């Protein structure tokens, strides 16, 4: 097969975006999922709706508003650019920020379900043994929700690989900076280079399949170990 000239560059960028998104969302998603699973606030349904919005919105809608939010025509954008020096449109940082929003529910929902499945008595037992909330989270809750952690991470990674609309709106298609594999496919097809498009498409298909097989295999193994 003839590999497109930018093949490795594009692939590296795609994997970098998916890895950074997954790592950052693990950090952001854990406290959010913890609050959603344990909180009793009346505002909880509101927060849940906000987290789940990216599931139902067209990616172009998210991309459009983020594009506005990052541009100097809005107050938010001016704050980002002038105060924080963050010029996000058409940069890797911009598509990373977009991916965080776009993949948020894919991280938070499995984690929230994972927190919900660990019996409350386990945390309470840890509290009566003098353990702080943080120690309990780290030593008791997280080790007992490994399948949820894994599915959150894997789904986020795979979902970010397949991201198209948000990246296109915010990042455009700058080779080596914002052109990820899904966008490269679109470009190649537009130029009628089907073989090149196929190289990207086949790669994405293979990666997604391998990731999902690994997820289900590990989940099954872990379930067998704990029961």
Partner 1 sequence: MIDFHLRKALHTAAGPRQLDVALALAPGELVALSGPSGAGKTTLLRLLAGLSKPDGGFLKFDGQTWYDHQRRQWLPPQRRPLGFVFQDYALFPNMTVRQNLAFAAEGQPEARRIVDELLELLELTELAARRPAVLSGGQQQRVALARALARRPRLLLLDEPLSALDLPTRLRLQDALAAVHRQFQLTTILISHDPAEIARLADRVVELDLGEVRRVGPPVAPAAPATVVGRVLAVLPGGRLRVQLPGGAVVEVSGAAGIGEEIALAVVCL
Residues of this chain that bind partner 1 (CB under 8 A): 119, 121-122, 124-132, 139-140, 143-144, 226-227
The residue among 125 and 210 lying less far from partner 1, judged by its C-beta, is 125
d(CA 150, CA 218): 8
The residue among 8 and 138 lying less far from partner 1, judged by its C-beta, is 138
The residue among 39 and 119 lying less far from partner 1, judged by its C-beta, is 119
Q: What contacts 73, CB < 8 A, 6 or more positions away?
A: none
The residue among 21 and 136 lying less far from partner 1, judged by its C-beta, is 136
Q: How far is the CB of 8 from partner 1 (least distance, A)?
A: 40
Q: How far is the CB of 225 from partner 1 (least distance, A)?
A: 8
Buried b (16+ CB within 10 A) or exposed e, 51-75: beebeebebeebbeebbebbbeeee
Q: How far is the CB of 150 from partner 1 (least distance, A)?
A: 14
The residue among 127 and 218 lying less far from partner 1, judged by its C-beta, is 127
d(CA 159, CA 199): 19
Both tokens of residue 14?
């795609």
Q: Are 181 and 135 in contact (CB under 8 A)?
A: no
Q: In the 8-state DSSP scheme, what is residue 46? A: H
Q: How far is the CB of 134 from partner 1 (least distance, A)?
A: 11
Phi, psi torsion values for 203, nearest 5 degrees: -60, -50
| Nearest CA-CA partner of 180 in 15, 5, 14, 19 | 14
Q: How far is the CB of 110 from partner 1 (least distance, A)?
A: 18
């Amino acid at each position: 097969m003839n590999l497109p000239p930018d093949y490795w560059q594009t692939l590296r960028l795609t994997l970098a975006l998916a890895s950074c998104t997954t790592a950052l969302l693990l950090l952001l998603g854990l406290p959010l999922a913890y609050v959603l699973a344990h909180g009793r606030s009346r505002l909880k349904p509101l927060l849940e709706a906000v987290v789940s919005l990216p599931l139902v919105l067209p990616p172009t809608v998210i991309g459009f508003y983020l594009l506005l939010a990052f541009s100097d025509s809005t107050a938010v954008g001016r704050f980002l650019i002038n105060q924080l020096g963050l010029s996000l449109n058409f940069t890797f940082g911009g598509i990373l920020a977009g991916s965080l929003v776009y993949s948020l529910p894919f991280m938070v929902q499995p984690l929230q379900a994972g927190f919900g499945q660990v019996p409350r008595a386990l945390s309470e037992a840890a509290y009566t043994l003098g353990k702080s909330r943080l120690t309990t989270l780290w030593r008791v809750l997280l080790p007992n929700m490994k399948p949820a952690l894994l599915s959150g991470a894997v789904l986020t990674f795979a979902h970010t690989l397949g991201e198209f609309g948000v990246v296109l709106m915010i990042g455009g298609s700058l080779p080596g900076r914002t052109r990820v594999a899904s966008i490269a496919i679109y470009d190649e097809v537009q130029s009628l280079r089907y073989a090149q498009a196929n190289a990207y498409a086949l790669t994405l298909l293979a990666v997604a399949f391998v990731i999902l097989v690994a997820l289900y295999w590990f989940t099954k193994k872990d379930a067998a170990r704990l029961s």
